[in-house]
A = this chain, B = another copy of it.
Amino acid sequence: MTVLEAIESRRAAKAFDPNHMLPEAHLREILRAGALAPTAFNIQHNRLLVVKNPEIRRKLRAVSWDQPQVTDASALIVVCADVQAWRKNPARYWRNAPEKVQDTLVDAIKAFYTDRDQAQRDEALRSSGMAAMNLMLAAKSLGYDSCPMDGFDFEAVAKIIHLPDDHLISMFVAIGRNTVPPKARSGFLEDHERFFEDGFPVSGGSQASIAICVSPSV
Protein backbone atom coordinates (compact mmCIF):
# COMPACT_ATOMS: atom_id res chain seq x y z
CA MET A 1 0.00 0.00 0.00
CA THR A 2 1.42 3.39 -0.97
CA VAL A 3 1.32 6.41 1.30
CA LEU A 4 -1.30 8.11 -0.85
CA GLU A 5 -3.46 4.97 -0.83
CA ALA A 6 -3.21 4.79 2.96
CA ILE A 7 -4.13 8.47 3.32
CA GLU A 8 -7.04 8.12 0.91
CA SER A 9 -8.46 4.91 2.38
CA ARG A 10 -8.06 5.80 6.06
CA ARG A 11 -11.52 6.47 7.44
CA ALA A 12 -12.73 6.65 11.01
CA ALA A 13 -13.85 3.16 12.09
CA LYS A 14 -16.84 3.02 14.41
CA ALA A 15 -17.57 -0.71 14.68
CA PHE A 16 -14.47 -2.68 15.61
CA ASP A 17 -14.48 -6.45 15.87
CA PRO A 18 -14.14 -6.94 19.66
CA ASN A 19 -12.64 -10.41 19.16
CA HIS A 20 -9.81 -9.29 16.92
CA MET A 21 -6.36 -9.35 18.49
CA LEU A 22 -3.58 -7.09 17.31
CA PRO A 23 -0.25 -8.93 17.14
CA GLU A 24 2.27 -7.40 19.53
CA ALA A 25 4.80 -6.97 16.71
CA HIS A 26 2.33 -4.83 14.80
CA LEU A 27 1.52 -2.75 17.86
CA ARG A 28 5.23 -2.08 18.22
CA GLU A 29 5.57 -0.99 14.60
CA ILE A 30 2.60 1.34 15.03
CA LEU A 31 3.99 2.86 18.24
CA ARG A 32 7.38 3.33 16.67
CA ALA A 33 5.70 5.21 13.80
CA GLY A 34 4.16 7.52 16.38
CA ALA A 35 7.54 8.10 17.99
CA LEU A 36 9.05 9.06 14.64
CA ALA A 37 6.74 12.04 14.13
CA PRO A 38 8.64 15.32 14.29
CA THR A 39 8.63 17.69 17.25
CA ALA A 40 9.95 21.24 17.44
CA PHE A 41 13.55 21.33 18.70
CA ASN A 42 13.30 17.51 18.87
CA ILE A 43 11.74 17.78 22.34
CA GLN A 44 9.78 14.56 21.69
CA HIS A 45 7.09 15.46 24.19
CA ASN A 46 4.51 12.96 22.95
CA ARG A 47 3.68 10.19 25.41
CA LEU A 48 1.84 7.15 24.06
CA LEU A 49 -0.14 5.15 26.57
CA VAL A 50 -1.52 1.80 25.47
CA VAL A 51 -4.52 0.62 27.47
CA LYS A 52 -4.60 -3.17 27.54
CA ASN A 53 -6.42 -3.82 30.81
CA PRO A 54 -10.12 -4.53 29.99
CA GLU A 55 -11.30 -3.04 33.27
CA ILE A 56 -9.54 0.26 32.54
CA ARG A 57 -10.99 0.19 29.02
CA ARG A 58 -14.47 -0.13 30.52
CA LYS A 59 -13.82 2.79 32.83
CA LEU A 60 -12.62 4.88 29.91
CA ARG A 61 -15.66 3.98 27.82
CA ALA A 62 -17.93 5.10 30.64
CA VAL A 63 -16.44 8.61 30.42
CA SER A 64 -16.34 8.62 26.60
CA TRP A 65 -20.03 8.94 25.86
CA ASP A 66 -20.17 5.11 25.98
CA GLN A 67 -18.56 4.86 22.54
CA PRO A 68 -17.95 1.17 21.79
CA GLN A 69 -14.61 1.80 20.03
CA VAL A 70 -13.02 2.34 23.44
CA THR A 71 -13.55 -1.25 24.51
CA ASP A 72 -13.89 -2.99 21.13
CA ALA A 73 -10.72 -1.75 19.44
CA SER A 74 -7.80 -4.19 19.37
CA ALA A 75 -5.55 -1.42 20.65
CA LEU A 76 -6.42 1.81 22.41
CA ILE A 77 -3.68 4.41 22.49
CA VAL A 78 -4.11 7.53 24.62
CA VAL A 79 -2.00 10.17 22.94
CA CYS A 80 -0.62 12.46 25.65
CA ALA A 81 2.14 15.01 25.91
CA ASP A 82 4.53 16.14 28.60
CA VAL A 83 3.96 19.89 28.30
CA GLN A 84 7.07 20.56 30.37
CA ALA A 85 9.39 18.23 28.45
CA TRP A 86 11.22 21.26 27.04
CA ARG A 87 12.66 22.02 30.50
CA LYS A 88 13.47 18.48 31.61
CA ASN A 89 17.17 18.07 30.81
CA PRO A 90 16.77 19.31 27.21
CA ALA A 91 20.40 18.51 26.40
CA ARG A 92 19.35 14.87 26.12
CA TYR A 93 17.31 15.69 22.98
CA TRP A 94 20.59 16.67 21.32
CA ARG A 95 23.01 14.39 23.10
CA ASN A 96 24.51 13.10 19.81
CA ALA A 97 25.15 16.61 18.48
CA PRO A 98 28.45 18.49 18.92
CA GLU A 99 28.57 20.28 22.27
CA LYS A 100 28.36 23.73 20.72
CA VAL A 101 25.24 22.81 18.75
CA GLN A 102 23.77 21.24 21.87
CA ASP A 103 24.36 24.40 23.91
CA THR A 104 22.88 26.62 21.22
CA LEU A 105 19.77 24.47 20.98
CA VAL A 106 19.25 24.23 24.71
CA ASP A 107 19.39 28.02 24.90
CA ALA A 108 16.96 28.30 21.98
CA ILE A 109 14.54 25.86 23.63
CA LYS A 110 14.54 27.86 26.85
CA ALA A 111 14.14 31.15 25.01
CA PHE A 112 11.24 29.78 22.97
CA TYR A 113 9.13 28.25 25.76
CA THR A 114 9.95 30.01 29.03
CA ASP A 115 6.89 31.84 30.42
CA ARG A 116 4.86 31.03 27.30
CA ASP A 117 2.12 28.75 28.60
CA GLN A 118 -0.08 28.97 25.51
CA ALA A 119 2.86 28.29 23.17
CA GLN A 120 3.77 25.23 25.26
CA ARG A 121 0.22 23.93 25.06
CA ASP A 122 -0.11 24.69 21.35
CA GLU A 123 3.13 22.83 20.71
CA ALA A 124 1.90 19.78 22.59
CA LEU A 125 -1.36 19.64 20.64
CA ARG A 126 0.36 20.24 17.30
CA SER A 127 2.93 17.49 17.94
CA SER A 128 0.35 15.05 19.21
CA GLY A 129 -1.63 15.48 16.02
CA MET A 130 1.40 14.59 13.92
CA ALA A 131 2.10 11.52 16.06
CA ALA A 132 -1.54 10.42 15.92
CA MET A 133 -1.56 10.67 12.13
CA ASN A 134 1.51 8.43 11.97
CA LEU A 135 -0.20 5.91 14.25
CA MET A 136 -3.27 5.81 12.02
CA LEU A 137 -1.35 5.55 8.75
CA ALA A 138 0.98 2.88 10.10
CA ALA A 139 -2.08 0.94 11.25
CA LYS A 140 -3.69 1.29 7.83
CA SER A 141 -0.55 0.10 6.08
CA LEU A 142 -0.52 -3.00 8.28
CA GLY A 143 -4.13 -3.80 7.39
CA TYR A 144 -6.01 -2.23 10.28
CA ASP A 145 -8.53 0.55 10.68
CA SER A 146 -8.43 3.31 13.23
CA CYS A 147 -10.59 5.91 14.90
CA PRO A 148 -9.29 9.26 16.14
CA MET A 149 -11.37 10.32 19.16
CA ASP A 150 -11.62 13.32 21.41
CA GLY A 151 -15.20 12.92 22.55
CA PHE A 152 -14.54 12.11 26.19
CA ASP A 153 -14.30 13.73 29.61
CA PHE A 154 -10.66 14.79 29.63
CA GLU A 155 -10.48 15.26 33.40
CA ALA A 156 -12.04 11.89 34.11
CA VAL A 157 -9.66 10.14 31.70
CA ALA A 158 -6.71 11.94 33.32
CA LYS A 159 -7.69 10.48 36.68
CA ILE A 160 -8.11 6.97 35.32
CA ILE A 161 -4.70 6.91 33.65
CA HIS A 162 -2.93 8.82 36.47
CA LEU A 163 -1.92 11.61 34.13
CA PRO A 164 0.90 13.67 35.69
CA ASP A 165 -0.08 17.27 36.44
CA ASP A 166 2.30 18.69 33.86
CA HIS A 167 1.03 16.46 31.02
CA LEU A 168 -2.03 16.81 28.85
CA ILE A 169 -4.24 14.37 26.96
CA SER A 170 -4.72 15.13 23.31
CA MET A 171 -6.84 12.29 21.94
CA PHE A 172 -7.41 8.56 21.63
CA VAL A 173 -6.36 6.52 18.64
CA ALA A 174 -8.34 3.28 18.57
CA ILE A 175 -7.03 0.60 16.22
CA GLY A 176 -8.52 -2.67 15.04
CA ARG A 177 -10.60 -4.35 12.38
CA ASN A 178 -13.66 -2.44 11.24
CA THR A 179 -16.71 -4.64 10.68
CA VAL A 180 -18.68 -2.28 8.46
CA PRO A 181 -17.53 -0.63 5.24
CA PRO A 182 -17.01 3.14 5.47
CA LYS A 183 -19.80 5.40 4.26
CA ALA A 184 -19.25 7.93 1.48
CA ARG A 185 -17.62 11.14 2.74
CA SER A 186 -20.32 13.13 4.47
CA GLY A 187 -19.60 16.58 3.11
CA PHE A 188 -16.15 17.28 1.74
CA LEU A 189 -15.42 21.02 1.55
CA GLU A 190 -15.06 22.78 -1.77
CA ASP A 191 -11.48 23.61 -2.73
CA HIS A 192 -12.03 27.36 -2.48
CA GLU A 193 -13.01 26.96 1.18
CA ARG A 194 -9.84 25.10 2.08
CA PHE A 195 -6.95 26.00 -0.25
CA PHE A 196 -5.52 29.48 -0.66
CA GLU A 197 -2.64 31.02 -2.54
CA ASP A 198 -0.31 33.75 -1.23
CA GLY A 199 -2.89 35.25 1.13
CA PHE A 200 -6.41 35.06 2.45
CA PRO A 201 -8.96 37.21 0.60
CA VAL A 202 -9.01 40.84 1.68
CA SER A 203 -12.51 42.27 1.50
CA GLY A 204 -12.44 45.32 -0.75
CA GLY A 205 -8.72 44.83 -1.32
CA SER A 206 -6.82 43.90 -4.40
CA GLN A 207 -5.22 40.63 -3.29
CA ALA A 208 -7.23 37.71 -4.54
CA SER A 209 -7.17 34.23 -3.13
CA ILE A 210 -6.89 31.51 -5.71
CA ALA A 211 -8.45 28.15 -5.11
CA ILE A 212 -6.43 25.18 -6.26
CA CYS A 213 -8.43 22.56 -8.07
CA VAL A 214 -7.47 19.48 -6.12
CA SER A 215 -10.55 17.46 -5.48
CA PRO A 216 -13.03 17.75 -8.36
CA SER A 217 -14.89 14.61 -7.40
CA VAL A 218 -15.17 13.38 -3.84
Q: B-facing mask of A7-35, CB < 8 A → 1, else 0? A: 11010100000000000000111011101
Interface residues of A in 31-58 (CB under 8 A from B): 31-33, 35-38, 40, 42, 44, 46-53, 56
Give the bracket for the number of chain A residues in contact with chain B.
35 or more
- Per the bound structure, the CA–CA distance linking A33 and B10 in Å amounts to 11
**Mind listing 22 A-B residue pairs with CB under 8 Å?**
A8-B36, A27-B212, A32-B214, A38-B148, A40-B148, A40-B151, A49-B199, A50-B195, A51-B198, A92-B189, A93-B186, A96-B186, A97-B183, A97-B186, A125-B125, A125-B126, A126-B171, A129-B133, A130-B133, A162-B199, A162-B201, A164-B200
- Having A7-B37, A48-B194, one finds 4 other A-B pairs with CB under 8 Å, namely A28-B213, A49-B198, A93-B186, A121-B122
